[in-house]
Amino acid sequence: MSQHYNHDDIELATSSPLHSQSSYGSDDLSESSGESIYSEESVRDYRPKALITDFIDSFKPFDYSILPPIYQVETKNPQRDDEEANLVQSTSFTSQKSTTLHPSHPQFDYSRFTELERAALVTATSPLSKHLKTRHLSLISLGAAIGSGLFIASSQSLSHAGPLGLLLVWFIIGVITFMTMSSLSELATAFPVSGAFVTFTTLFIDSSFGFAIAWNYAIQWLVTLPLELVAASMCIQYWDASINPCVWVTIFYITIVIINLFGVRGYGEAESLFSIIKIVAVIGFNILSIIIVAGGVPGQPYIGGKYWHKPEGGLFNTVEPFKQCCYIIANASFAYAGTEIFALAAVESKSPKKSINRARLQIFYRIFVFYFVSIVMIGLLVPYTSPALIGENSKANNLGIDINTSPFVIAIKNANIRALPSIMNAVIIITVFSVGNASVYGSSRTMCAMGALRQAPPIFNYIDRKGRPMVALGVQFIFGLLAYLVALPGPTATMDVFTWFLSLSGLSILFTYVAINISHIRFRAALDHQARIPKDELVYCSSPIYSWISLIGLITLLGLQFWAALFPPGQQGADFVGFLKYYLNLIVLVACYVSHKFYNWWFNGVPLTKFFLRAGEIDVDTGRRDIDLEIIKQEIAEEKLNLKSKPFYYKVYKFFC
């Protein structure tokens, strides 16, 4: 067993430039210090040869020598008298110098730390670029989950469950998502570490469970990119089907690669722009929907709520209505995927205290305005019995990405508004492209953290001089090439391949949310074990009741989806092939967990019967950013005083945003 230091003996060196970056009491200072590490020279040579050389050099390994040493070890000699024992002798892990290398430095000596302490330090001090601003994180949070799940996949959900059934399922999952994100915000604010929730699972639950969840989440995004590229190319065929979709796959693929080669700044700016477009589109559709339902379109009758009643429609599907609602849990969950990305971006944010809390506040508005209102309007505009929701036997429809089955497009067509279907198609193309771009960010940052945690090949943690996880990005780019399977002949060949790829992700987002809630519960249990009061040391506190309610709700949803997938509504007997399409990722999750359990037992001597960390074993300090609550209270008081002098409209904006 490796020796480790007492937490009282390890402290951040007050003279360190990074100490202020780790402090929540000085976000402005943290931005300047973080910027200094990654900023370029004020005078830059823009000659072609120099630019090419700079571009090539940027892929070289990160220069860890520019990171200052931030840790000191204080040792006390028990043989000295009490007066002398108060004197502190600073030593190094590797030498007698007073300070050590930065924890991310390859030569940093972790031999005197436990595995948990190492995991906390190496992820908390990741040299990933710190270029995400509060504006970026807020817009990413607002628009991340607005994708094909809302615009296209909602058609199948409406057809199965009916308008009220669709609303109830999306409402339940939406409430669970909001409570889960509140718990995640508390953890991410205190521990803005590389990998976020996949790292929390290792730190607060169990390394084997963390290994399984990390690969589960990485695979989810790895297979999402090629599907979204195919979806974007299929949407182009709405205008012109004569061009081979591989041409559009190539264009979209190269664009995503270029955006991500600009690093997190490129991702942040691109996603901010895409989010604004998606937000405007959803709000515009909801306003148009109210006009259509009220009969405000010239030549169109008043619709009202007739599609919620027979004979035109109904509240629920008449064939096994409860099971039909359970059957769409996976579709609704897929639509919410991406909400958690704001926590992954915390480690690359300049001011996580401000940006994470603002992103948390906006999750509620996004779920209410973008989901609930949109789902209600869809149910009012399109009857669940409409054959247009099912679509034709085409390649796009078999892949679940047929623009013609989108309830948004169907509603606009039914209202005979000619130009808007093309505009909505353009918005959907931007949307699926945005989700593909987000998948690159989600998978690469997860794999980078896995490399640091030794849950994947260490090369995955390779970070270049621009702070980009280039090896992890390269893995995702290789998976993106699967999009060229769109060239397979026939309407079902591509679907047959992608169906099994997507089954690897299936309900993975729900398993990830389970892990987040358990992590929060265990984190609070560790604080209670040490008799520590969360409100006295955390910037933001979420109620553990949220985590318990969400955990119980998620387990219930997974059980109901299990039943509905194995015995589909309207069919006699069990459907094992259909069941695997939903739950294949559960088999992969269990396989990862069991294999890592045996690995830990064989190489690290961890008992096979040890399923979770006891409260006394959980480390709630190492790798955690310092906070000064007195400074925070002063900042809040100053912000309130400053807000009083602002105009009314600005006060309203700050209240909601």
Residue 523 pLDDT > 90: yes
Task: Provide the pLDDT for residue 363.
Answer: 72
In this structure, is the dihedral angle defined by the CA atoms of residues 173, 176, 177 and 178, taken in order, positive or negative? positive
Residue 537 pLDDT > 90: no
Average pLDDT over residues 418-440: 85
pLDDT in tens, 648-657: 777 776 665 5
Residue 221 pLDDT > 80: yes
Residue whose structure tokens are 């379109």: 297
- Least confident range from 10-14, 102-106, 131-135, 160-164: namely 10-14
The answer to whether residues 66 and 465 touch, using CB atoms and an 8 Å cutoff, is no
* 256 — pLDDT class (breaks 50, 70, 90): very high
- Mean pLDDT over the full length of the chain: 78
Task: Provide the pLDDT for residue 32.
Answer: 41
Average pLDDT over residues 172-187: 91
Sequence spans of domains, the chain: 124-480+489-626
- Least confident range from 11-20, 120-129, 336-345: namely 11-20
* Residue 73 phi, psi (nearest 5): -115, 125
Question: Any idea which fold 124-480+489-626 has?
Answer: Amino acid/polyamine transporter I (1.20.1740)
Average pLDDT over residues 194-204: 84
- Least confident range from 92-96, 102-106, 462-466, 628-632: namely 92-96
What DSSP letter does each residue of 480-547 carry, written as one string?
HGGGGGGGSSSSSHHHHHHHHHHHTTTTHHHHHHHHHHHHHHHHHHHHHHTT--GGGT-SS---HHHH
Task: Provide the pLDDT for residue 231.
Answer: 83
Task: Provide the pLDDT for residue 409.
Answer: 85
Tell me how far apart the alpha carbons of residues 387 and 376 are, in angstroms, rounded to a whole number.
Answer: 19
Task: Provide the pLDDT for residue 134.
Answer: 65
Task: Provide the pLDDT for residue 544.
Answer: 93
* 60 — pLDDT class (breaks 50, 70, 90): confident
pLDDT in tens, 128-148: 766 666 666 666 666 666 777
Task: Provide the pLDDT for residue 346.
Answer: 65
* 274 — pLDDT class (breaks 50, 70, 90): confident
* 465 — pLDDT class (breaks 50, 70, 90): confident
Task: Provide the pLDDT for residue 97.
Answer: 38
Higher local confidence (pLDDT), 133 or 261 = 261
Task: Provide the pLDDT for residue 480.
Answer: 92
pLDDT in tens, 581-612: 888 889 999 999 999 999 999 998 889 999 98
The one-letter amino acid code at 521 reads I
Triad 10, 13, 16: Cα angle to 5°:
145
Task: Provide the pLDDT for residue 633.
Answer: 65
- Least confident range from 39-48, 299-308, 344-353: namely 39-48
Tell me how far apart the alpha carbons of residues 396 and 408 are, in angstroms, rounded to a whole number.
Answer: 17
Average pLDDT over residues 436-460: 88
Q: How many residues appear in the chain?
A: 657
Q: Which DSSP symbol is given to 47?
A: S
Residue 1 pLDDT > 60: no
For the chain, what is the largest distance between any 2 Cα atoms, rounded to a whole number of angstroms? 95
Task: Provide the pLDDT for residue 40.
Answer: 45
Higher local confidence (pLDDT), 91 or 325 = 325
Task: Provide the pLDDT for residue 89.
Answer: 32
Q: Closest Cα partner for 38 from 344, 470, 468?
A: 468
pTM for this entry: 0.83
Average pLDDT over residues 206-225: 92
Residue 16 pLDDT > 60: no
Task: Provide the pLDDT for residue 304.
Answer: 87
Q: 474: which 2 tokens? A: 């390269």
Q: 175: which 2 tokens? A: 């409430």
Task: Provide the pLDDT for residue 475.
Answer: 94
Residue 78 pLDDT > 50: no
Which whole-number Å values give the CA distances from 235 to 157, 188, 257, 338, 497, in the listed order? 20, 37, 20, 22, 20
Task: Provide the pLDDT for residue 212.
Answer: 95
Average pLDDT over residues 149-159: 83
The answer to whether residues 158 and 378 touch, using CB atoms and an 8 Å cutoff, is yes
Looking at the DSSP assignment, which residues form a beta bridge with residue 132?
349
Residue 242 pLDDT > 90: no
